[in-house]
Structure formats: C-alpha cells, structure tokens
C-alpha cells in the first residue's frame, strides 16, 4: 500500500512538473507574441490566460519521456521551454515588426518623427505611420486565423520537442538571418511607393533650388513632403493591404515550417 501511494505521489509530481514546463513555454510565447506581449496587458491576466491554456492542454498532451527530478535538469528544461516559446512568439510577430519598421522609414522621410511621444506600454516612441501599419497587420493577423496558427504551432512544438526531453531547438544562424532579411525586404516593399514619391519630390525641389535660388526650398520642403507623403500613403493603402495579407499568409506557413525544423 505504501509503495502504491509513493508511486501515485510521484506520478502526481511528474504531472505538476510537466504542467509547470508547459506553463513556461506558453508564458514565454505570451511575452513575444502579437497583442499578448503588449505592455498594457496586466501580467496577472497573461499568467492566468497561460494557466488556463495549460490546464486545457494537459489531458491532450502526448506521453512525455521519463523525467529526472534533479534541480539542474529542471533548470535546463525551463530554459529550453522559455527559448522555444519566445522563438515561436518572435516569429509570429515578425510581420507586425516589419510593418512598424516600414512606418518608421516613412515617418522619418515625411517628417512625422517630430511629433513622437513616449509610450510607456511599448517602452519607446511609436511612430504614427508605423502604428497604422501595425494595426492593419494585426487585423489581418486575426482575420486570417493567426491565433489558430499560434495554437497549432504550440501543440506541434510539444509533439516534436517534448517537455521533459533535454533537447534544445536546432536553430541555425543562417535560418535566423534569412528570416530577418525577409522581414526587412517586406518592410522596404511596404514603404517603397511612398519613399519613391518623396524621392522624386526632393529631386524636383533640388532642380527648383538651382533654377530659382531666391525661393526658400528648406521651408517649402516641410509642407510639400508632408502633403505628398500623406497623399501617396492613402493612394497606396490597397497595395499595402495586399502586401500585408500575403505576408501574414506566408508567415503562418513559415511559423509551422520553422517549428517542424526545430526538432534536432
């Protein structure tokens, strides 16, 4: 009877450890995933939501390898879970980061960066056009099933990288460089139409300065760049939405592909 109680107690402890490791993975994902990583969300809300997801996942988890209950092993497992969760969240928020970067490029050219204010929720100075692009990308992320993709990627990562297996994800530097390069190319593609129009306007102002030096080109350029930038921004909104929609769809496939390549 004593041995049965000890076995049941050990099984219960193993279940608690598995749940704790799953909580670390989900919690790390919430720190980098879209919306959930926003500083305006209370930490207690994110922790409670992660706990609810873990409790719902526990009955459906595949059998986990035997676990060695050693403090250093548990510490390494927690570090592995935090790495996997943060990586999935970082990949899923790539389009939003690219959209903010594209908006930052346009704000710098148009001149909106003089109107920046510190946002304590983001911990920085969000740009006007960048937040507009990020909001559009976020709506497309929700509308095209981005949340479902996150949950599928999470369950797929648990299947390929069990919670109690001390195997770190096989992520290579070229893979990360390729991912960052693709996001940078996306940001430049989003900002390209407006940047091209602003470049042409600057070229025209340079010619005007040579032909009519008495005109104060420096003061004229502020209002002209703002007018051309805002006008081209509204004209290119349909193209930007198409680019963001395609990027979100590719992102969903890429996240699942990267998760499947994490297995060593």
Which residues, 6+ apart, have CB-to-CB distance to 132 below 8 Å?
Answer: 103
d(CA 254, CA 248) in angstroms, rounded, equals: 10
d(Cα 113, Cα 74) in Å, to the nearest integer? Answer: 47
- HSE, CB side, 13 Å, CA atoms: give it for residue 129: 30
Chain-centroid distance, C-alpha 31: 10
Q: What is the reported pLDDT for 264?
A: 60
Cα 84 to Cα 33, 124, 130, 175, 263, distances in angstroms: 12, 26, 28, 15, 11
Q: To 5 degrees, how large is the angle CA 203–CA 207–CA 213?
A: 130
Domain boundaries, the chain: 2-261
pLDDT of residue 1: 43
Asked if residues 169 and 262 have their Cβ atoms less than 8 Å apart, the reply is yes
Residue-level pLDDT at 163: 76
- Answer whether 67's CB lies under 8 Å from 14's CB: yes
Which residues in the chain come in under a pLDDT of 70? 1-10, 115, 117-124, 167-173, 262-264
Q: 220-252: per-residue pLDDT in tens? A: 777 888 888 888 888 888 888 888 888 888 887
Residue 10, pLDDT score: 67
Helix (H, G, I), strand (E, B) or coil at 122: coil
Average pLDDT, the chain: 80
Query: What pTM was computed for the model?
Result: 0.78
User: What pLDDT, in 10s, does the model give residues 179-200?
Assistant: 888 888 888 888 888 888 888 8
Angstrom distance (rounded) from CA 58 to CA 144: 27
Q: List the beta bridge partners of residue 119.
A: 124
């Amino acid at each position: 009877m004593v041995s049965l109680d000890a076995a049941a107690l050990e099984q219960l402890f193993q279940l608690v450890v598995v749940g704790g490791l799953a909580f670390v993975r989900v919690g790390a994902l919430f720190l980098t995933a879209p919306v959930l990583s926003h500083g305006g969300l209370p930490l207690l809300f994110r922790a409670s939501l992660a706990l609810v997801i873990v409790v719902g996942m526990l009955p459906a988890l595949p059998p986990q390898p035997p676990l060695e209950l050693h403090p250093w092993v548990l510490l390494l497992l927690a570090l592995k879970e935090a790495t996997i969760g943060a990586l999935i969240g970082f990949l899923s928020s790539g389009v939003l980061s690219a959209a903010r970067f594209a908006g930052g490029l346009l704000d710098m050219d148009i001149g909106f960066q003089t109107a920046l204010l510190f946002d304590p929720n983001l911990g920085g100075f969000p740009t006007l056009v960048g937040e507009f692009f990020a909001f559009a990308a976020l709506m497309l992320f929700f509308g095209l099933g981005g949340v479902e993709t996150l949950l599928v990627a999470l369950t797929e990562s648990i299947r390929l990288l069990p919670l109690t297996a001390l195997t770190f994800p096989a992520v290579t530097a070229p893979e990360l460089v390729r991912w960052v390069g693709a996001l940078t190319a996306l940001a430049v593609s989003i900002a390209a139409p407006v940047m091209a129009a602003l470049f042409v306007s600057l070229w025209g102002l340079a010619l005007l300065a040579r032909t009519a030096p008495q005109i104060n080109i420096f003061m004229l350029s502020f209002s002209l760049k703002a007018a051309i930038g805002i006008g081209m921004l509204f004209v290119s909104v349909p193209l930007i939405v198409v680019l963001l929609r395609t990027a979100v769809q590719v992102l969903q496939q890429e996240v699942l592909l990267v998760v499947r390549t994490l297995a060593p």
